[in-house]
Amino acid sequence: MKDSAKAGLEQFLTYRLHVLNKLAERGISARYQAKLGVTLPEARVIAAVGSFGPFSIMELARHANLDKSQASRAAEALIRQGLMQRRPSAEDGRVVLVSLTPEGRALYRKVMPIARKWNGDMFDCLDEDEQAALGAALDKVISANSEAAFPKADPRR
């Protein structure tokens, strides 16, 4: 069905992407909770820091696709569990960075396979060419809109 033939919110790609996002979040959240005992924000923080960190909370929020308060709460919970640690930045003593502890790195090695499997299962309905085309289209839209949606911020925040 063409977008112009759809009525209401279904005509908007942004709405349909939001529906897909909610389906993805519910599914992966249930898996993280059942298999690892962590929330989705905690798993995202572990994945982001394990893949790209250490980070300030603001950088973490950006990389984990969370708002600053979600990233902060998840990081604090993981620090209390001994999975993350905080330390001052060597480059700017006013900035505090969060990083994984050895226990956090072990959890990271469990988070990523669950994420890969869920991602594969979600898009298994598409053949390889369709997955590649969707991935390329999403990358193009994300690239074209990233700076407007997320202007560069002061990393100390």
In a domain, 57, yes or no: yes
Number of domains in the chain: 1
Residue 98: predicted pLDDT: 94
- Range of 32's domain? 11-115
Q: What is the CATH number of the domain that holds 49?
A: 1.10.10.10
In a domain, 151, yes or no: no
Lookup: tokens for 104: 């956090």
Give the pLDDT confidence of 60-76 residue by residue, as tens digits. 999 998 999 999 999 99
Degrees to nearest 5, angle at CA 16 with 12 and 19: 145
Q: What percent of the chain has pLDDT over 90?
A: 73
In a domain, 30, yes or no: yes
Q: How far is CA 110 from the centre of its chain?
A: 16
In a domain, 150, yes or no: no
Beta-strand runs (E) in the chain: 84-88, 96-100
Q: What is the pTM of this model?
A: 0.78
In a domain, 35, yes or no: yes
In a domain, 65, yes or no: yes
How many alpha carbons lie under 13 Å from residue 157 in its C-beta half-sphere? 8
In a domain, 141, yes or no: no
Report which DSSP code applies to 82. T
In a domain, 1, yes or no: no
Beta-strand runs (E) in 63-125: 84-88, 96-100
Residue 76: predicted pLDDT: 95
Beta-strand runs (E) in 23-121: 84-88, 96-100
The residue count of the chain comes to 157
